[in-house]
Copies of this chain bind each other. A is one copy, B any other.
């Protein structure tokens, strides 16, 4: 599965209930990664690990179970950069990751250790061990890091373009291309096409490998009834000249995905999706409801490819 953060994590949660976890490889976006306070932070990798490890707070729906915020309270007291909230437990992950990177371990190796500690059996890998940063140019012409845009500005500014700094020099992490080449089927998670999936495709070799497997690639639309369930995917699609709809997603992904799973509310878009050369599959996709993640996973595994 090609993965961003929350949507991908929820779908993976269903997938590990539908098939042997050890047979799953999650290839994860690192364009949201950042260095803050000297620490290397990998939001999408952590969202996936924490979700699968049942560490996400059920009450709050985000952040870690039993999380506290003492470190950031101190940073705020000093007038420091506290726009990106880091819980104390979460900080432990970033401290460990940063220290291991400084010792020469790769992000993929460190992610494997972290996933192992949480007893996760699936393979979770960053798409690349190299530096790749999603950079967002906004209407006033200034360029922001993804997190400055997403968290700092609450993604409430107009975007004119996006680029992936470091992408041309980045190499796929070990096993990434192999997984794409050899998987029985490949799922593109219902993640943001512009800032979660595109940075994965920007790593040289990934789009090519994926395109060669086009008939085995099933994408899940993150746009439902013209809206993203969470985050700015719909708005970004419009701002970047795409149609903010399942049809827009189909057109975006048609190079490398033969099938697109769309939500029941969008059933009337099926024929338009066929028109752009993608097979539409209509089903319930909103994974906030119990059981949908599992039933969606079962469907993804049962589709003839």
Contact = CB atoms under 8 A, between A and B. Distances in A.
A123 to B, nearest CB: 18
A52 to B, nearest CB: 16
B68 A99 contact: no
Contact of A38 (B39, B77, B78): B39
Contacts of A117: 77-79
B89 A38 contact: no
Contact of A80 (B40, B81, B100): B100
Contacts of A74: 89-93, 95-96
Nearest to A95: B37
Interface string A52-96: 000000000000001110111111011111000011111111011
B68 A92 contact: no
B99 A71 contact: no
A176 B191 CA distance: 55
Contacts of A92: 70-75, 77-78
A79 B113 contact: yes
A80 B99 CA distance: 8
A89 B70 CA distance: 5
Q: How many copies does the complex hold?
A: 2
Chain A interface mostly: helix
A117 B73 CA distance: 13
Interface string A20-44: 0000000000000000111110000
B80 A95 contact: yes
Contacts of A39: 37-39, 95
Contacts of A40: 38
A78 B96 contact: yes
Contacts of A36: 99
A98 interface: yes
Interface string A244-284: 00000000000000000000000000000000000000000
A58 to B, nearest CB: 18
Given A70-B92, A71-B92, 9 more contacts: A37-B39, A37-B98, A39-B39, A73-B92, A74-B89, A74-B92, A75-B92, A78-B93, A80-B100
17 contacts: A37-B95, A38-B38, A38-B39, A38-B95, A39-B39, A67-B70, A68-B70, A70-B87, A70-B88, A71-B92, A74-B89, A74-B96, A78-B114, A80-B95, A80-B100, A86-B95, A88-B91
